[in-house]
Structure 1
């Protein structure tokens, strides 16, 4: 038998690209079983570029598909995703498994964050908190001014009876500083030497004191939770988000996603990736760039799992992640020339392997080191390992502290000089 071979991990992995070809993988083991059952041997035929192939503008096919079109092989060793385009060149046998296309990229890691101290609340919460603080400041200042005018208009005898005459008259600036001290002191949980007087001021002050207690408690709880259970934001989880990031992306020429990309409507999500997508058949280049975090790539899920397995085998770490959303679901099966008499015989063998679970067993053997990394992560991943705090995590808080010291020092010098 002459079988067409293309590089597709974990089904066919080339150890040598020169004759005699050295290839290993799941489908090499399956092909050995098929050859044994048919009591024959087989020869590998490798197309140029070791690619599955695509249709050219003149209607002919390249790669493995081209070998079938020219009737140079009897079957394929690697599975082919079923599509109407490929059906024009090959007949598909019984399905081996279901597959779909996804995106793989470098898994983000925990890094020092200067803005970490503001993360417990979102932007809208901070904005509302600022508006509430300004409202409390103005209301407290307003009531203090009204209270001051009422006292100034009281008869002298009444002021003496209430001991108000012994107090130093206060200005609007003094009242404003009192209101500002109370507003900041409550929200920062600091003591204030001034105590609100009169009912209206006490109502506003008490309300702000209670709100500050709730806000400070929630802030401390959220900050503590973020330190104990860190969360990592993924760069993207679907095609729409990938288009917004501008991350360079590879697509394997001749793949199902490549055909969909070239035929995508202008307003489709795939079309929005036009500026950042590169079509190529150089699989080693794709793998190296993805592992180094330079690019993302589209590929079928079965192949992406093997990429993660290889990365974990080499480093012992989960360096890559796969998006949860799949595209272009399809069946994958072996290919045969049109009208092949060999297909029914091979289909029967494949069906038997299915029934006994040997196909899944052989596939699982190829990705044994990727079990932990294959757990899909979300934008709020809880499986990220804890990271010790670094000096950079405190830069934001330190900057506020230094800014406060500088302002206080400047005020002190101005008071001394003027």
Structure 2
């Protein structure tokens, strides 16, 4: 499929990781890599055309100015300085009116990236072995056991008193609130594996207490084993998982100026999530390059936002350099999927020539294969955060793991001491 034109096509290029990557300085920028280099190599070999790249110095996809002119790649195409874009760009309504676009190459979405959260101790970990419904069932079972022991014991004592027929065995006369308290103390002591001497009379009472001993043994062993397993496994507090949580976190947000997210947030009502997020944006003039923005996010100065494909490429680069995951990518999207397509001038014959070939590249999986190969190392970092980077799945216990238990113990000791002092003062007064 040869082109009739003898001149080479001019491709307007801007950085869009991992599709096209440039050196840092916009004035002396050079193309350093990207999957679109391989894509255009395949296209040129199959379709028979030559091409060269022309870097757009403003690094913009294209923004329509008040005077009707366009910036970035769209501006280059409309003025004739470029024949088409070198990468797939998001299709917005103004761009669709200004230029033609090809079959989409990829689909992308906006997300946020922050410094990867570290492992921390869980002070409330001692209540985690059971879920809330399970704790409520245990509480109900304890209450049921106390009631069963008390009423069965009271009924047994009454029967022995009535039908004892001269039996000299000592019969418990515990009744009322003291009987309930005794049954409650014995039930809780058994559940907590504490020794409490108590004489049990009558077969019905012995059957119920034996059943409660078995239940307490099972609950205690399951609790201890689950607690130990949960303590030695790491706990990671994610900074945010969606747009609403990012807004609630109040973290400063770095966003590429005049990007889709920047314009959408700027034009959104202030009572919406995007509108509130606009108030958290860092001034674009403070950070003019992505390298400086990445230094800021590693220092936890702010969150950076961008297309998910770019965030995965950045994660891949840092994993390749450091050997562990240093960034956290928000699992949910901030904005819906956008199609990334090549841009042409209105009525350009290039669209009809490129569309069938792009469709074949998608259907055969070549485009997806090139993308996955470019972000292969990001796969490990995109998994749910459950282990410490570079370490095993277990960790040694530290003092913070026992703070919750210490607080319960200290609170119980304080209440016991307070009860003792009250009893002492009341007794001394009497």
Bin of the TM-score, shorter chain as denominator length = 0.7 to 0.9
Q: Which residue of 2 aligns with 1:80?
A: 89
Contact in 1 for aligned 2:88/2:342 (Cα 8 Å): yes
Verify the 8 A CA contact 2:11 2:51 in the aligned structure 1: no
Gaps of 5+ in 2: 1-8
Aligned mates of 1:348, 1:172 — CA distance in 2: 89
Q: How does 1:8-87 map to 2 (within 5 A)?
A: 8-17=16-25, 19-26=27-34, 27-31=36-40, 40=50, 42-48=52-58, 50-56=59-65, 59-87=68-96
CA distance in 2, matches of 1:209, 1:390: 33
Q: Which residue is equivalent to 2:197?
A: 193
Secondary structure in 2 aligned to 1:88? helix
CA distance in 1, matches of 2:199, 2:388: 46
1:193 shift after superposition: 0.9
TM-score between the two structures when normalised by the length of structure 1: 0.76
Tell me if 1:226 matches 2:230.
Answer: yes
Deviation at 1:306, TM superposition (A): 0.1
State the secondary structure of the residue aligned to 1:66.
helix
3-state DSSP class of the match of 2:105?
strand
Q: Structure 1 residues 349 and 175 mapped into 2: Cα distance closer, same or farther (>3 Å)? A: closer
Give the number of equivalent residue pairs: 410
1:340 to 333, 343, 348: 348
8 Å contact kept, 2:88–2:106: no
In the alignment, structure 1 residue 330 sits paired with structure 2 residue 338:
yes
Structure 2 CA distance for partners of 1:300 and 1:367, relative to 1, 3 Å: same
C-alpha distance after superposition, 1:156-205 (max 9, x if no partner): xx79742549x9x8797864653343022111122321033356755664
1:283 aligned onto 2:301: no
Q: Take 1:351 and 1:163, find their aligned partners in 2: how far apart are those partners? A: 94
| 1:6 positional shift | 1.9
Map of 1:391 onto structure 2: 399
The verdict on how the C-alpha distance between 1:344 and 1:395 changes in structure 2, with shifts beyond 3 A counting, is same
Distance change >3 Å, CA 73–CA 141, structure 1 → 2:
same
Instruction: Check if 1:299 corresponds to 2:306.
Output: yes
Pairwise CA RMSD of aligned residues? 4.5
Cα deviation, residue 80, structure 1: 0.5
**2:185 corresponds to 1:181:** yes
Identify unmatched segments of 5+ residues in structure 1. Answer: none
Residue 22 (structure 1) shift: 1.6
Q: 2:317 aligns with which of 310, 320, 331?
A: 310
Q: How far 1:309 sits from its partner (Å)?
A: 0.2
Of residues 269-278 and 184-193 in structure 1, the stretch that sits farther from structure 2 once superposed is: 269-278
